[in-house]
Amino acid sequence: EQSLLQESDDEAKATGYHADATRVNKARFPTYVPGQTCANCKLYAPDGDKPSGGCALFYGKDVMAKGWCKAWVKPD
Ligand code: SF4
């Protein structure tokens, strides 16, 4: 288990990471499509049933399954 990425972290700000995707402002992040979350992003690595897991973008930090950032990648 790793420490959680915080929205105030530089790398989170740079990618528009939100711990809760439902709070993403569509005007500020036009690529956001409701329904997209870390849990259904190709870069997410679930940690069992935990509410957070790994992300290939953020080495050493966990992200919230219900989060989102603008690097969201459609799964194969
Ligand atoms: Fe979440 Fe995907 Fe962004 Fe990682 S790349 S923070 S899993 S949306």
User: Does residue 69 belong to any structural domain of this protein?
Assistant: no
Q: Which atom of ligand 1 is nearest to the CA of 56?
A: 4
Atom of ligand 1 nearest to the CA of 41: 2
Task: Decide if 37 is inside a domain.
Answer: yes
Percent of the chain clearing pLDDT 90 (strictly above): 96
Kindly report the average pLDDT of the chain as a whole number: 96
Tell me how many degrees the CA angle 32-37-38 measures, rounded to the nearest 5: 120
Considering only CA atoms, which residue is closest to atom 1 of ligand 1?
38
71 part of a folded domain: no
Residue 45's CATH number: 4.10.490.10
The pair of structure tokens assigned to 45 is 């690595």
Q: Identify the band that residue 55 occupies on the pLDDT scale cut at 50, 70 and 90.
A: very high
38/64 Cα distance (integer angstroms): 7
Checking if the pLDDT of 65 tops 80, the result is yes
In whole angstroms, give the CA distance from residue 55 to residue 41: 9
List strands edge to edge, sheet with 61-64.
3-4, 61-64, 52-55, 44-45
Q: Is the ipTM of this complex over 0.90?
A: yes
Per the structure, how many domains does the chain have?
Answer: 1
Q: Which domain holds residue 47?
A: 3-64
